[in-house]
Amino acid sequence: MNKPAGMLDAVVIIPSLSTDFASMSSLPGSNFIWRKTAAVDGKVGFSALAESAAVFQNPASGTGFGATGRIGFKSDVVSATTFAKLEDGGAAVNVGIMTSIVGDYYRSVQRARGDTVIVNLVVWEGLVRDTYRLFNVAVVAKVISIRK
């Protein structure tokens, strides 16, 4: 990519922005009689992930080599804007599909309920659009600083 970029006097940009809409966690453990247990928790939340980055290659005139650079986040950037709400027990669960993958101690509950996530699409789309717009602004500012 260095030679074509050098011929055009251009900077090669390879952007990658990763977003997430939920944070999940799990915790193994044991109960009071040392049986293995597990707890799982999930929260709705919008974030731009630390793995996001833009890599630059700025060709050095006539040398055949290019100077590389990278911008990214030091950690996940989490938005405080609420785009969804969680309704506990808001959805029916089809227990029958799970019976083939559970152990002998599984007890079928025919009226099992799961949680429902209700998304405000206007807010969600705004968060996504703003995140990409701000990421692109940062990339352009970096290119301008490289070219000076």
Average pLDDT of adjacent 10-residue blocks, the chain of 148 residues: 76 89 81 77 88 83 66 90 83 55 53 76 95 92 78
Q: Cα–Cα distance between 1 and 58 in angstroms, integer?
A: 10
Let me know if residue 51 belongs to a domain.
Answer: yes
**Residue 131: predicted pLDDT:** 94
Segments forming the whole domain that contains residue 74: 2-80+138-147
Cβ–Cβ under 8 Å, residues 75 and 20: no
Domain-located, residue 116: no
- pTM greater than 0.85 (yes/no): no
Residue 129 domain-assigned (yes or no):
no
What's the rounded Cα separation, in Å, for the pair 66 and 50? 25
Q: What is the pLDDT of residue 137?
A: 93
Q: How many CA atoms lie within 13 A of 84 on its CB side?
A: 19
Q: Is residue 114 part of a domain?
A: no
**Residue recorded with tokens 């500012």:** 141
Look at residue 72 and tell me if it is in a domain. yes
Q: How many folded domains does the chain comprise?
A: 1
Give domain status of residue 142, yes or no: yes
Looking at residue 17, what is its pLDDT?
A: 94
Asked if residue 7 is part of any domain, the answer here is yes
In a domain, 120, yes or no: no
